[in-house]
Amino acid sequence: MADRAKRSFAVTDLPGFSTIAILVFVALYAPILIMTLYSFNAGQSVASWEGWSLDWYRVAWGNEEVKKATLISLQVAAAAAVLSTALATLAALGTTRRRNFRGQTFIYVMINQPLMVPEIVTAVALLLVTAAIKKATGYSGLGYLIMAHTAFCIPFAYLPIRARLEGMDTTLETAAADLYASSWQTFRRVTLPLLMPGIFAGAMLAFVTSLDDVVITEFIKSPGQDTLPTYMLGQLRRAMKPDVNAISTMLLVFTLVILSAFFLLSRNRK
């Protein structure tokens, strides 16, 4: 009885834990593996296997609409990641590197508002704002998509940056101030280098979020501004073709490359 009382609780010791874990992983990754497999299907059908082939990758690679949509996606995602990360860094510094103040929780809630409300609500709100600006200025370029994606991606960049700041020891910053370093010098030479892993994590998360977005893009984009996800959605509405599997697989590989590069960079920094 004494030994049983001293033994600490572990969720992995619960009956059926391994079985449930395996089922969860199968449910998560089996559809992705099936999609990747069928991207190499030689036939026109997406439901029956007819042999191995790279034809659909050639079709997707030679499709000018896919190239245009991919370029727009990368432009919007890169711009949104840079802008949202810069704003999220300033917000994180303003809410952590100071004494607690009245309304701090309210500001935190407002920054993370896009995470708390349905994405369709955010999309409608952004549509109203961009429509008013379009009417006043007559401009209808990619700037609206970049602005909308930036607003939506700020909380995704904010969370890892804030977490990094809260986990940082302030001893080095205090020592820099004791050595008569200005606030800017302390930030540039001490705070920013220590914060870079969080900034990279926030930028990566914002980039992937923007690259994958459909709902906000559908509401904000102008004619001829399809991103890769909205282009694929349009293709699926017409007819399910195997080249969509190839495009999805290439997008998956690209995302995995980004994640691997970030992991290696973070490991080297540590």
Q: What domains are defined for the chain?
A: 63-269 (1.10.3720.10)
Question: Looking at 26-35, 150-159, 229-238, which range is the least confident one?
Answer: 229-238
- CA 195, 197, 200, 202 torsion: positive or negative? negative
- Higher-pLDDT residue of 215 and 2 is 215
Residue 240, pLDDT above cutoff 80 = no
Residue 4's pLDDT band (cuts 50, 70, 90): low
CB 96 within 8 A of CB 158: no
The full length of the chain comes to 270
Residue 45, pLDDT above cutoff 80 = no
Q: What is the pLDDT of residues 185-226, one digit of tens each?
A: 878 888 888 888 888 888 988 998 898 888 999 888 888 888
Q: Which of 80, 83, 76, 84 is nearest to 154 (CA)?
A: 84
What is the rounded distance in angstroms from the CA atom of residue 191 to the CA atom of residue 193?
A: 6
Residue 169's pLDDT band (cuts 50, 70, 90): confident
The pLDDT value given to residue 168: 78
Helix (H) or strand (E) holding 156: helix 143-167
The pLDDT value given to residue 5: 52
- Higher-pLDDT residue of 237 and 64 is 64
The pLDDT value given to residue 86: 93
The pLDDT value given to residue 268: 47
What is the rounded distance in angstroms from the CA atom of residue 78 to the CA atom of residue 23?
A: 36
3-class secondary structure, 41? strand
What is the rounded distance in angstroms from the CA atom of residue 208 to the CA atom of residue 228?
A: 13
The pLDDT value given to residue 7: 62
Residue 1's pLDDT band (cuts 50, 70, 90): very low
Q: What is the pLDDT of residues 102-139, one digit of tens each?
A: 777 778 778 878 888 888 888 898 889 888 888 888 88
Amino acid found at 175: A
Q: Which of 167, 248, 163, 249 is nearest to 205 (CA)?
A: 163
Residue 265, pLDDT above cutoff 80 = no
Residues forming a β-bridge with 18: none
Residue 170, pLDDT above cutoff 80 = no
